[in-house]
């Protein structure tokens, strides 16, 4: 189920009605997403939207002095480039790959063609799906602001790890403590101390930029309520299974069935 070469690994694409998926699937382009790749900078005009399959992309706000903080995380649950269908055209943040993998990209004008076509349809289709995803993303961003203001670095690190696990096919992450500190907007020493506590409790193993989660329930017991608030809202708004409207021939053609 973690094969990046199947577009249905992205939950939004997998939830599309069959005829809508058939229209856009020939235009989906598989692209490699190396660690640190910047998909867009603040104010850039977007030419593509991205549907991650096995990578994770961070949306960062960068201040004038170069400091940054993560404001949202997008993985196989979503799409990069919501400004296209929300009417803005550009984004005020930076999008950077923080866990390497793959994604499918689609030219923005093709997305908008299908978005407009599905507007008002009985099934809702792409139009309804993307608006629901945007609501879930806004919830994530709002809760992240609360978390950064009111909760400890230990709790923030637990949340960050759980959010990452929800969007990856394994329990392993390749990332440095310095990069985690940049994402959380805290000092590296704080992340080092927090990671040491989690490792001491047997919840994770950290070695040279590589984190392995050993005890997910243990992380969930320590995390603040922010993680559960965001996950509950995402589960409510977004489908977690493949669209039942997909006929067998499309599933075979897409690699979903042998």
Contact 80, 57 (CB under 8 A): yes
> Which one, of 43, 52, 54, lies nearest residue 173 by Cα?
54
CB-facing half-sphere around the CA of 126: CA atoms within 13 A: 21
13 or 91, which is more confident? Answer: 13
Percent of the chain past pLDDT 90, that is, above it, reads: 53
Does residue 189 surpass a pLDDT of 80?
Answer: yes
Top-ranked range on mean pLDDT: pick from 47-51, 117-121, 174-178, 253-257: 47-51
The CA-based diameter of the chain, rounded to the nearest angstrom, is 54
Contact 23, 121 (CB under 8 A): no
Distance CA 58, CA 94 (A): 8
Q: What is the pLDDT of residue 58?
A: 93
Q: Give residues with Cβ within 8 angstroms of 211, minimum separation 6.
A: 161, 172, 173, 174, 175, 195, 204, 205
- What is the pLDDT confidence band of residue 59, given thresholds at 50, 70 and 90? very high
- What is the pLDDT confidence band of residue 240, given thresholds at 50, 70 and 90? low
Does residue 139 surpass a pLDDT of 80?
Answer: yes
31-55 average pLDDT score: 93
184-201 average pLDDT score: 88
- The one-character DSSP state at 169 is S
- What is the pLDDT confidence band of residue 256, given thresholds at 50, 70 and 90? very low
15-23 average pLDDT score: 91
Q: Is residue 84 exposed (0-12), middle (13-18) or buried (19+ Cβ within 10 Å)?
A: buried
189 or 177, which is more confident? Answer: 189
- What is the pLDDT confidence band of residue 1, given thresholds at 50, 70 and 90? very low
Q: What is the pLDDT of residue 122?
A: 62
29-38 average pLDDT score: 93
Contact 2, 102 (CB under 8 A): no
Does residue 111 surpass a pLDDT of 50?
Answer: yes
Residue 65 CB neighbour total at 10 angstroms? 5
Q: Which two tokens stand for residue 244?
A: 């039942």
Contact 137, 78 (CB under 8 A): yes
Domains identified in the chain and CATH numbers:
1-125+253-258 (2.60.120.10)
Contact 155, 223 (CB under 8 A): yes
Ranges assigned E (strand) in the chain = 29-33, 38-40, 48-52, 56-62, 68-74, 94-99, 101-107, 172-174, 204-207, 210-213
Q: Which two tokens stand for residue 52?
A: 């991650």
Distance CA 13, CA 203 (A): 33
The pLDDT mean for the chain works out to 86
165 or 209, which is more confident? Answer: 165
Does residue 241 surpass a pLDDT of 60?
Answer: no
């Amino acid at each position: 189920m973690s094969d990046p070469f199947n577009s249905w690994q992205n939950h939004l694409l997998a939830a599309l009605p069959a005829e809508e998926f058939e229209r856009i699937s020939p235009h989906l382009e598989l692209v490699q997403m190396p660690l640190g790749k910047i998909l867009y900078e603040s104010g850039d005009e977007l030419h593509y939207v991205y549907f991650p399959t096995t990578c994770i992309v961070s949306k960062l706000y960068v201040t004038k002095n170069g400091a940054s903080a993560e404001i949202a995380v997008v993985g196989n649950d979503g799409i990069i480039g919501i400004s296209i269908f929300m009417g803005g055209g550009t984004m005020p943040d930076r999008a950077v790959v923080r866990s390497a993998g793959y994604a499918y990209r689609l030219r923005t004008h093709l997305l908008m063609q299908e978005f407009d076509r599905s507007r008002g349809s009985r099934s809702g289709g792409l139009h309804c799906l993307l608006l629901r995803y945007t609501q879930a993303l806004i919830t994530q961003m709002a809760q992240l602001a609360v978390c950064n203001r009111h909760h400890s670095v230990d709790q923030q690190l637990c949340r960050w790890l759980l959010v990452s696990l929800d969007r990856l096919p394994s329990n392993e992450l390749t990332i440095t403590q310095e990069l985690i500190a940049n994402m959380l907007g805290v000092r590296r020493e704080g992340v080092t101390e927090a990671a040491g506590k989690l490792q001491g409790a047997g919840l994770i193993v950290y070695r040279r930029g590589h984190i392995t989660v050993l005890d997910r329930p243990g992380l969930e017991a320590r995390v603040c309520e922010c993680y559960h608030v965001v996950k509950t809202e995402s589960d409510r708004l977004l489908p977690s299974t493949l669209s039942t409207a997909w006929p067998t021939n499309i599933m075979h053609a897409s690699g979903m069935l042998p």
